[in-house]
Structure 1
Amino acid sequence: MRSGSRLSERWFNLVLWLVAIAFAVFLIGLGSLLVGDLPQVEQRYTTEQFLEQDRARATAAALTRIRRERADLRRLSEQGELALDAARAASENARETFTNWLKTRDATQRVDQDPGLIERTKRLDALKAAERAIEERLEALAKTGLDLSERETVQERIEADLRGAAEAKRDTAMRGQEMRVFGYRLALTLPMLALAGWLLRTRRRSRNWPFVWGFAIAAAFAFFVELVPYMPSYGGYVQYGVGIIVTLLGGRAVINALQAYNERQKADEARPDAERRTEIATDQALLRLAKKACPGCERPIDLANPETNFCPHCGIGLFARCPACTHRKSTFERYCTACGTPGSSGLATAV
């Protein structure tokens, strides 16, 4: 029968668990840096990388030229508007002066003013002609501006189509890149998880168990916390599919573990009583007894009954009389609590 742990051992175990947790924290920090920096092994994709360069350059040059022409056209139109305003003002002033002159001529009825009438009329017609010429020039500029606007719209549509096609190619390349980076992360975390499982299975009771548990905690964190957010979604199908697979595998593992546990328990219950008790730790046995459970099969037992000396389920001996003082003691205690006599491997006098 294995002895119970001393108080100092419990403190040492607590310190070792702190070591395991600290080791796990540092490994998790390192793993987070590695997982976060893995995308840097791939180049960053931009839309310009997937543009048809010749067509894109031609379209950009055409748009630049059209926009420059439209800017020049706007300046000419602004100048024409100013000239038209000045021409209209001059024409209006000339018309007002001509009207006043006609009134004076009608009042005086001077025939010698007829040559002046002709000259003034010609001058007024010239001003109107100049005004009309400016208006025609502005109309031509407006038509040219409309043509430039239509050409700019066509070029912008072509540019938008080119960028749309380039963005589709970029998105496809980025999805492929995400899958590659996820593969890198999986190649890093999955072996860690497998190694952690192997270490827990074979080395968890070795003297270096704090590092085994620390590595296992870090591996589980890296796989289930660091990796899952980077898992491709595709509308949730991948994540839910992986969740179903993990649940099925985990559930199957638990079912198999339960069946194996039941089979081991049945095999243990068939072994001799003394042999079974030597494989149960004292602390574990006493803790189960304190919970009114059998240390061997973990089924509930009635410890309030002083006649309960054997488990009614598996038959393991629970209490016996001390051979020195006949005090009733647990068969899992190394010494009698009444007289301090060492216990024997077999049952003492049955109560």
Structure 2
Amino acid sequence: MVSKGVRLSEKWFQRGLWVIALLFASCLIGLGALVVGDLPKVEKPVDAEQFMDQTRLRPVRAQIKADDEQLEANSDATQRAHDALSHAQNAYNSEHESFEAWIATRSATQQNDQNAEVLARTHTLDALKATQREMEKKVEVLESEQTDLQQQKAAHEKTLEEIRIAGQGGYDRAVARMELRVFGLRLLLTLPLLLLAVWLFLKRRKGPRWPFVWGFIFFALFTFFFELVPYLPSYGGYFRYLVGIALTVWGGNYAIAALRTYLEKQRAAEQRPEEDRRKDLGYEMAQMRLSKRICPACERPIDTSDVSGNFCMHCGLRVFENCPRCQTRQTSFSHFCRACGLVKNDAPPEEPLPPANPT
């Protein structure tokens, strides 16, 4: 929430500076993503075949390739045999139907001179049937060969899988080492950025160049938590959870210590004289906290609508006072009276004016 005492132009300048901070952060994030993404290229890629038994791998792959070629040739031959069988079946069926029709005609006319033709047609049907049976046997042989080839290829593929499994352990270890080295490079790049961002947050976040400071802070946080953490080695999930627990414990202890330090500082501040505490509070900070209905000094809630209460009931700080000239009630941190314009801490040049008419 923006302080009510901030000038309107200053508010828009602040928003513009925040836009600059975000744009600066986005440019840095884009550049950082390119750098972090190119880090794996410094490592030589790991190939799983490097860890397989090459003396067994090459012959098995050659056998599988030969199996594929034989299966393809067998499949083509089987398809041609099926086509020939289908053609033979159609020829036999057509000739058989013609023969049956001719026999029926001969029986009706009782033509004995056609006995020789009966024998010829019968021989033709027998020849077509023999061709059909030959094609069927050829299809059966080819299908049997195809089954044998498939079983042979399955055995070779099983051997290839055993070779791959035997080399998988070495491949996994090599990949883990490569990922760890790449993660180390990313950590070596991002951790100094994060530490620099923490230092800037502690020392420079309110300086005149604060938009660039906050932009760099956003960039460092994004780079660390989004460009580094996803590449954190897993080791089955144990490492990530252990790192998360360690960071949580460290962050929790830091937050607890910071809270204790803050409370002790507040208790010590409440023991100091009111004027000393008032000097430590800036005008903008006091106005911002009052706009949130909290005491500028101890940050506890106060009832700003109670016209009878001028002091914080928690720490005794004078929050409201009456103008010595017009007796208008206002915050004790105002520089000018909002009713008569009297400069604060100046003695009134004349008798106090009566309170303004409420109407």
2:250 alignment counterpart: 249
Give runs of aligned pairs for residues 102-117 of structure 1, distance below 5 A.
none
1:39 aligns with 2:18: no
| Aligned residue identity for 2:254 | A
**Greater mean alpha carbon deviation, residues 255-264 or residues 221-230:** 221-230
| Aligned residue identity for 2:264 | E
2:270 alignment counterpart: 269
Mapped contact 1:200–1:216 kept (Cα < 8 A): yes
CA distance in 1 between partners of 2:336 and 2:266 (Å): 27
Return structure 1 stretches of 4+ with deviation > 4 angstroms: 58-75, 144-158
Evaluate the alpha carbon distance shift between residue 225 and residue 345 of structure 1 in structure 2; reply closer, same or farther with a 3 A threshold. farther
1:278 is paired with a residue whose SS is helix
Give runs of aligned pairs for residues 153-172 of structure 1, distance below 5 A.
157-172=158-173
Structure 1, unaligned runs of 5 or more: 76-138, 347-351
CA distance in 2 between partners of 1:159 and 1:247 (Å): 47
1:278 alignment counterpart: 279
| Aligned residue identity for 2:331 | S
CA distance in 1 between partners of 2:26 and 2:165 (Å): 45
2:194 alignment counterpart: 193
1:180 alignment counterpart: 181
Post-superposition offset of 1:59 = 4.5
2:313 alignment counterpart: 312
**Seq. identity, %:** 45
Mapped contact 1:4–1:283 kept (Cα < 8 A): yes
Evaluate the alpha carbon distance shift between residue 58 and residue 341 of structure 1 in structure 2; reply closer, same or farther with a 3 A threshold. same
Evaluate the alpha carbon distance shift between residue 59 and residue 267 of structure 1 in structure 2; reply closer, same or farther with a 3 A threshold. same
Evaluate the alpha carbon distance shift between residue 289 and residue 64 of structure 1 in structure 2; reply closer, same or farther with a 3 A threshold. closer
Post-superposition offset of 1:238 = 2.1
Mapped contact 2:5–2:287 kept (Cα < 8 A): no
Post-superposition offset of 1:150 = 9.2
**Greater mean alpha carbon deviation, residues 317-326 or residues 332-341:** 317-326
| Aligned residue identity for 2:199 | W
| Aligned residue identity for 1:258 | L
2:228 is paired with a residue whose SS is helix
Post-superposition offset of 1:66 = 8.3
Evaluate the alpha carbon distance shift between residue 310 and residue 177 of structure 1 in structure 2; reply closer, same or farther with a 3 A threshold. same
CA distance in 2 between partners of 1:289 and 1:58 (Å): 84
**Greater mean alpha carbon deviation, residues 244-253 or residues 280-289:** 280-289
1:8 alignment counterpart: 9
CA distance in 2 between partners of 1:338 and 1:65 (Å): 101
2:321 is paired with a residue whose SS is strand
CA distance in 1 between partners of 2:346 and 2:205 (Å): 29
Mapped contact 2:194–2:221 kept (Cα < 8 A): yes
1:133 alignment counterpart: none
CA distance in 1 between partners of 2:43 and 2:198 (Å): 31
Normalised by the length of structure 2, the TM-score is 0.67
Give runs of aligned pairs for residues 1-351 of structure 1, distance below 5 A.
4-60=5-61, 157-344=158-345
Mapped contact 1:4–1:281 kept (Cα < 8 A): no
Q: CA-atom RMSD, angstroms?
A: 3.7
Evaluate the alpha carbon distance shift between residue 69 and residue 251 of structure 1 in structure 2; reply closer, same or farther with a 3 A threshold. closer
Evaluate the alpha carbon distance shift between residue 323 and residue 161 of structure 1 in structure 2; reply closer, same or farther with a 3 A threshold. same
Work out which of the two has the higher radius of gyration on C-alpha atoms and give 1 or 2.
Answer: 1
Structure 2, unaligned runs of 5 or more: 77-140, 348-359
1:329 is paired with a residue whose SS is strand
Mapped contact 2:5–2:288 kept (Cα < 8 A): no
Evaluate the alpha carbon distance shift between residue 50 and residue 325 of structure 1 in structure 2; reply closer, same or farther with a 3 A threshold. same
CA distance in 1 between partners of 2:338 and 2:216 (Å): 42
| Aligned residue identity for 2:25 | A
Evaluate the alpha carbon distance shift between residue 43 and residue 262 of structure 1 in structure 2; reply closer, same or farther with a 3 A threshold. same
CA distance in 2 between partners of 1:74 and 1:326 (Å): 107
Evaluate the alpha carbon distance shift between residue 326 and residue 155 of structure 1 in structure 2; reply closer, same or farther with a 3 A threshold. closer
